[in-house]
A and B are shown apart, each in its own frame.
Chain A
Amino acid sequence: MPAKKPKVAVFKFASCDGCQLSLLDAEEHLLAVAGAVEIANFAEASRRMLKGPYDIGLVEGSITTPHDVERIREIRKSCRVLITIGACATAGGIQALRNWKDVKEFTRLVYASPEYISTLDRSMPVGSYVHVDFELRGCPINKLQLLEVVNAALNKRKPNIPAHSVCMECKLRGTVCVMVAKGIPCLGPVTQVGCGAICPAFDRGCYGCFGPMENPNPPALSTRMFELGKDRHDIMLLYRGFNAYAEAFRKESEAHEK
């Protein structure tokens, strides 16, 4: 007798939708996913929305409004396993750049009637409001990693999502280090793997899309960046990307701010 299929729901907060689209982008696996789970709520794919509770909730986007806060608390209650996906949901996203600015001033400049705008002064990761069972990093996430997490949850095993440096992946695939061989500044040594170390394979330094690795040491890397001719402003900008508000990156950019 086939067991009841687990219900999976996808929720969105402040984000670009790119991460949830990775699920649709996983063409060759899509039928297998559809066969293994019941997609109960996925606005990007279907209008059909089934009521909770859900077995797995995938949450994309950062928490930026008081309404978001209420909604994420409700979602948490309705999901047995809550997985956040992408840099917005796990670190606040690129929109967290506003965390260093005065949001009221932005709303005054942008909106004709700023008094209708209800927003928090910071863009924050989901995990700062509710308990998260697993954080899947990346801007955007790697679709194969998403499948791996869903797969592991379904098969009750540990997901193979390592938290070590991008450097290790460079070495596993045989890429010649761009920082050592070409002097290109690279965030790989402080960034978590997940992308497959794509940028160094195309002669670019790592941009830090997957956020800080397990025990990052950005000050040590900055020492080297100075030797490579970068100044404090350059270093600050390097860390002010999609994961700017992840703690290790935030601290390093702030250390070089003034």
Chain B
Amino acid sequence: MFIVELNDLQGLLTALQAGGFTVIGPTVKDGAITFDTLSSIEELPRGWSDVQEAGSYGIRHSEDDTLFSYNVGPHSWKKFLFPARLRLFSARKAGKAFEVDPVSPSAPPKYAFLGVRSCELAAIAIQDKIFMSGPYADKHYTALRKSACIIAVNCVHVGGTCFCASMGTGPRAKDGYDLVLTEIRTDDRHYFVAQMGSPLGKGLLQQVTHREADQKEREQVEKALKAAHDRMGRSLDTHNLPRLLEDNFESPRWEDVAKRCLSCANCTMVCPTCFCSTVEDVTDLSGEHAERWRRWDSCFTTDFTKVAGGNIRMSTRTRYRQWLTHKLCNWVEQFGTYGCVGCGRCITWCPVGIDITAEAAAIRETSMTTTNG
């Protein structure tokens, strides 16, 4: 562990910029802590914190001048690695067929993500598995991901809708970063404890003024992380969870949540692990040129499940059930982990405050089967 004093943190940004990275990090915009391009650490939300509850979000001045005393906001990093809209290719009419234009080989941006939380590291690891493994790896994601640098920040404050401790994804950043920082503010000191996670992180730290942490400073980190762990805003009981959900496929609770759910798709849009997309073909009026675009899609839309001969999921009941059971049941079989990392975004940004932890708990409570035991 190494100590970087607050006044030396700008050195990290400078090193990243010198390395050709576009630095993206949290900044206050539109009444929220959003992700944007940063040129200086002055643009970080210094002295801000957030208040999150089901269906509500707000920022307010915090009691101190810390840089990272808030949790995840409306944006997630998938916005950069898996853009909401992407042109896949364009094509020209050639007689009765068409010819695909060669994709212009413009180099993808080299991103450095600053302030990635542990739940988000877990979400990125999940999307890595989805987009970068198997025979159909996504070349767009892969190119962006391979060149990205991740500067994580440990959560020493937790939010009202956070439950990473339940999902085993936080609040401590375990792996998947190049560098991780823990911000420590005491009455008379303000510094960062840095740990390296890769040669890239090591190289960056070498360019920043730092020194070895002493015993007391190390303990400070442990204390702060323990406190965060114990103050989690929410929890989700994962005991036998996939089996419980399988057994309760016809639970009356699905009908109950369908009465409250707007099928608006906000939960899927904000979720850092949701990876669904659709493609749209566009033409010009002459029909001479065409383009294929990819855009985020959601299991809450009708088109999503439209197949030849009909639609397999017409009701909000079946759509919400699909969403929750994919996250907490089928994902495990499909990808080997839960599809939820406990970031709480879907709870905060649901306009009517539907809470995945409360829905799962309600199903457990009303479960007729022994999986509850």
Whether A168 pairs with B264 at a CB distance below 8 angstroms is yes
B88, chain A: closest CB distance, angstroms: 14
Whether A223 contacts B260 in the complex (CB less than 8 A), given A151-B285, A180-B56, comes out as yes
Whether A215 pairs with B263 at a CB distance below 8 angstroms is yes
* A221 contact set on B, CB distance < 8 A: 262, 351-352
Complex alpha-carbon distance, A236 and B85, angstroms: 36
Whether A167 contacts B259 in the complex (CB less than 8 A), given A176-B31, A181-B74, comes out as no
Complex alpha-carbon distance, A249 and B55, angstroms: 23
Complex alpha-carbon distance, A147 and B286, angstroms: 12
Q: Is the interface of A mostly helix, strand, loop or mixed?
A: helix
B121 at the interface (CB under 8 A from A): no
Q: Can you name 28 A-B pairs with beta carbons within 8 Å?
A: A32-B284, A147-B285, A148-B282, A151-B283, A151-B284, A155-B287, A164-B298, A167-B265, A168-B296, A171-B296, A172-B84, A172-B295, A172-B296, A176-B31, A176-B34, A177-B57, A177-B266, A181-B58, A183-B56, A188-B264, A189-B266, A213-B264, A214-B301, A215-B314, A216-B262, A217-B262, A217-B316, A223-B260
A179 at the interface (CB under 8 A from B): yes
* B74 contact set on A, CB distance < 8 A: 174, 176-177, 181
* Least CB separation from A165: chain B residue: B264
Whether A33 pairs with B285 at a CB distance below 8 angstroms is yes
Minimum-distance CB pairs A-B, first 4: A171-B269, A189-B264, A189-B262, A167-B264
A120, chain B: closest CB distance, angstroms: 33
Complex alpha-carbon distance, A150 and B287, angstroms: 12
Q: Is the interface of B mostly helix, strand, loop or mixed?
A: loop
B280 at the interface (CB under 8 A from A): yes
A229 at the interface (CB under 8 A from B): no
Complex alpha-carbon distance, A148 and B283, angstroms: 9
B281 at the interface (CB under 8 A from A): yes
B270 at the interface (CB under 8 A from A): yes
Whether B351 pairs with A167 at a CB distance below 8 angstroms is yes
Q: Which residues, 21 to 72 on A, are CB-close (under 8 Å) to B?
A: 29, 32-33, 35-36
B261 at the interface (CB under 8 A from A): yes
Whether A176 pairs with B266 at a CB distance below 8 angstroms is no
Q: Which residues, 135 to 154 on A, are CB-close (under 8 Å) to B?
A: 147-148, 150-152, 154
Whether A186 pairs with B351 at a CB distance below 8 angstroms is yes
A164, chain B: closest CB distance, angstroms: 4
Q: How many A-B residue pairs have CB under 8 A?
A: 138
List the interface of chain B (C-beta within 8 A of A). Answer: 29-32, 34, 55-58, 74-75, 79, 84-85, 259-266, 269-270, 280-287, 295-296, 298, 300-303, 314-316, 348-353
Whether B32 pairs with A224 at a CB distance below 8 angstroms is no
Whether B351 pairs with A174 at a CB distance below 8 angstroms is no
Whether A176 pairs with B298 at a CB distance below 8 angstroms is no
B166, chain A: closest CB distance, angstroms: 23
Q: Among B315, B349, B351, which residue has the most Cβ atoms of chain A within 10 A? A: B351
Complex alpha-carbon distance, A36 and B288, angstroms: 12
Whether A155 pairs with B283 at a CB distance below 8 angstroms is yes
A220 at the interface (CB under 8 A from B): yes
* Least CB separation from A33: chain B residue: B285
Whether B301 pairs with A220 at a CB distance below 8 angstroms is no
Whether B351 pairs with A168 at a CB distance below 8 angstroms is no
Q: Which residues, 189 to 242 on A, are CB-close (under 8 Å) to B?
A: 189-190, 203, 213-217, 219-221, 223-224
Whether A162 pairs with B296 at a CB distance below 8 angstroms is no
A134, chain B: closest CB distance, angstroms: 15
Whether A224 contacts B352 in the complex (CB less than 8 A), given A174-B75, A183-B56, comes out as yes
A61, chain B: closest CB distance, angstroms: 25
Whether A182 pairs with B31 at a CB distance below 8 angstroms is yes
Whether A160 pairs with B262 at a CB distance below 8 angstroms is no
CB < 8 Å: which of B284, B314, B348 contacts A180? Answer: B348
Whether A171 pairs with B270 at a CB distance below 8 angstroms is yes
* A224 contact set on B, CB distance < 8 A: 55, 351-353
A173 at the interface (CB under 8 A from B): yes
Whether B302 pairs with A172 at a CB distance below 8 angstroms is no
* Least CB separation from B36: chain A residue: A174
- Seed contacts A36-B286, A214-B302; 16 additional CB < 8 Å A-B pairs: A151-B284, A154-B287, A155-B287, A157-B281, A163-B301, A167-B266, A176-B74, A177-B74, A181-B74, A188-B351, A203-B30, A213-B264, A215-B302, A217-B261, A219-B259, A223-B260
